[in-house]
Structure 1
């Protein structure tokens, strides 16, 4: 009799425990992504060039995107081979997100446990794959955390648009309640980590010329078609640059330059490679520190475009040093965790800017929302 009662008690206790277990809070790092293996390059490029939010080709988007992807794949595969066989962005994104969740479990227990996810726009794990995994894990509350510190409708906006499209398909009942961190250009951890990395690189120059070294902040460029819609990206990148230099007490001359232009149409300039080549030939320029100011980890634009291609093209490569990317930087990761903690505590669904972003940048977008509340609900 005692044994039977014990079994009933154990079964009841187990059932009650299961019913009171909290659903994890999903923390979803959203980014462009990159092929983890070079064999995934074509699929990555195809999704990228067929995305009208990123590179608008109008009615020729799909055929032209397919042609460009096919044309560029062999060269880009070679580049990935030269940096180790694939992009490290997934590795770093998963690492950063897992560390952020570990910190949040301690600093914001109200929403614990926190479960890390990565959702890439053009590479695996794709948004729909991550969404399916989250549903399987029983996620009811999630934060879409854009890993572009500075907002552009072509990057953060594109990722959010895709989340909305995939939600309509895979979660039409809206079982997951979403909010979004859509920009953070002056977050303390981001700024401090950049400033520290720049100081470390400046210290590699002789003391007598250190203050004369030029700091070139290089960000991924943007088609002028998008800039002219009123996109906030150029201003927000400049805001990051200014805050970093303010932290450094404006110790050195500096400029903001733009890299990775694709195709013949006008893009935001001056271009990183042209400015570097102009400066490094001069005797009165003692050195250059390149800072990838819009990237949160290494990928092909840093490891190949800056570290390999640019160094091969200049006359005085010894003058040029690149500041480390964020990657596993502890100050940066702590900053990310602080940002998510404050977001969760605020109860806000999205920033004040996002509505205007959708009005200005979304006029040509298809198959997505016109107002953020359609995905995230009403913000405070």
Structure 2
């Protein structure tokens, strides 16, 4: 992120001041003293204020520019402002009018009505999705670099938050994950038995249940539950900190929000999800075994022997190998959306919902990709 800068030079008998970077409240304290020293030195010399290098401008930055322009004009210089983007120019004019005591009225929207509204909405949505993808990839790169830097000095890893989040996303999620997995095992066994009974192959319900749960259903359902439970919590927690300006306070104190807030949650979920997924697999098989005993008269000994024939340790590890990837996606999306919250409780709610939807979509998409990959390499 480029901070705000101001440079000066003489060009063709005019004094050129070039503003660049982000002129916002974070740069205002540093830029204020620099602007006091920017004087042409020649009485009445023309001044050109070049704003083409500005990447961002808020009211604090616009107020600094307004004060600079007023000071130079008060000294008898003719100041020309050039190169500003239309949106930044509008903000600067609004601040100038407000500083002069003139009421500022928002101009009426002047965008032409699109000829094809549906195509316009689809196009805007596509561009928005593309920008979101680029922002998420940039966030992934930032987290990766920070994690590698942290792993080089393990003493910097904050163990207390790590164990706290391990308890929250792991231990505290076992009741709901176990109950839902148990019920899913019952449903799969019942539906499989209803079909296989027509062919006198009820015993193969165990094969269906074992392979389906251990390879796909167990870890997929666990990830979806964790995305709805823990991913949303990550967004809400960090988003509330953004609203309360706690994240800005961290940066003011020289602390890295990614290191303090994102990495403990990421590491905790990557560690916890495979363990919770294994627990979900066990509960689903228990539910299926009880259903097979009650509906098909397959006792627990027969169920265990057939399960040993049907599945191997490879089947279990194929399913659990996806868990760290799903965990990383859920944690990254939850923290990314939390850090995008901007100043209102409504924003927290909207981005929390968005976090859950995107996490579940990406988990299912990655699961489909893993299925194709494992089938291609013959696992």
TM-score of Structure 1 vs Structure 2, range by shorter chain: under 0.3
TM-score by length of 2: 0.21
TM-score by length of 1: 0.21
Computing the radius of gyration from Cα coordinates, the structure with the larger value is 2
RCO higher in structure (CA 8 A, sep ≥6)? 1
